[in-house]
Amino acid sequence: MRFKIIFLLFMLQLLLVSGAVFAARVLPSAGELTYVSYYDGNPDIFLLDVQRLIRRNLTRNPAWDSQPSWSPDSKHMAFESMRDGVRTIYIMDFPGGTVRRLLPRDDMTAYSAVWSEDGRSILFHTYQRPNSAFYRVDLETGEMRSAADGPLKIYTQYNAQPRDIEVLYQDHAWGIFLHVPDAREPVRLTRDMTFIEPPQWSPNRRFIVFLSDLDQPRTEIFLIDVESHDLRQITNDNLLKTQIVWRP
């Protein structure tokens, strides 16, 4: 009897380990990404855990929220909102989710937020000053001045479409192609799919993510494992989505 119990416990442990290994093979760690989704007809910013496929509404506000932009250290997210009646930029802190306005003036529009490389400043565009142009705000002091005042390195997220991924029309079908070093021709990763936005690399360059409109206005997020060429759909809520941004 004791032998049977030990054997059953051993088999159970083996199944659990095998299941964990299988789950890891199914979808290795891919990090998190944000996207804008029109939940209940209102655009909000969602955070998606790509490995566990768990999403969370970050903004959850009746106002229009969009254009997420992550700080280099991934601890802050700038975004645009009309929650105070004017289009302007807000910053959300992580963890905690505290939200604050970037600019003190209630009537000043601000959009197109871009982080500096050191994460200490945010650049933005406005139409409410003479000769509409970019300005920058020091996040520590709140000082605002022209972006042209002195040198400033811009943070460029690595998820922008690189040269080694292309969307091409070939053999009577659109597809994502990966340029592999020393290969004669690029490798086709998708077939017969449309693309709403350019495909993007994950921070670890293991995955490629893209939006496709399966049934307009429905758009869903798809993920490609570059090592296995496995293609999977990672959202399925029949909602319009846009503006995918990987969290650094």
Contacts of 129 (CB under 8 A, 6+ apart): 135
Q: Is the pLDDT of residue 200 over 90?
A: no
Q: How far apart are CA 204 and CA 223, in angstroms?
A: 14
CATH number of 32-146: 2.120.10.30
Reported as a single tens digit per residue, the pLDDT across 33-64 is: 999 998 877 899 999 999 999 999 999 999 99
pTM of the model: 0.81
Average pLDDT over residues 113-130: 85
Per cent of the chain over pLDDT 90 is 39
Note whether 45 and 36 are within 8 A (CB).
yes
**Nearest Cα residue to 161 out of 244, 37, 225:** 244
Q: Is the pLDDT of residue 20 over 50?
A: no
Which region among 129-133, 175-179, 234-238 has the lowest average model confidence (pLDDT)?
A: 129-133
Question: Measured over all CA atoms, what is the biggest interatomic distance in the chain, rounded to whole angstroms?
Answer: 87
- pLDDT greater at residue 16 or residue 96: 96
Type of residue at 188: R
Q: Is the pLDDT of residue 145 over 60?
A: yes
Contacts of 244 (CB under 8 A, 6+ apart): 33, 34, 35, 197, 200, 209, 210, 211, 221
pLDDT at 198: 85
Provide the pLDDT confidence category of residue 92 given band limits of 50, 70 and 90.
very high
pLDDT at 223: 95
Give the N- to C-terminal CA distance of the chain in Å, as an integer: 54
| CA dihedral for 16, 17, 19, 23, sign (positive or negative) | positive
- Both tokens of residue 63? 């106002």
Contacts of 238 (CB under 8 A, 6+ apart): 218
pLDDT at 215: 62
Most confident of 150-159, 216-225, 232-241: 232-241
Is there a cis peptide before residue 199, judged by omega within 30 degrees of 0? no
Spell out the long-range contacts of 171-180 with Cβ–Cβ below 8 A and sequence spacing 24 or more.
176/208, 176/210, 176/224, 178/208, 178/226
Reported as a single tens digit per residue, the pLDDT across 155-197 is: 766 544 455 888 888 887 888 888 888 778 888 898 878 888 8
Coil, strand or helix at 34: strand
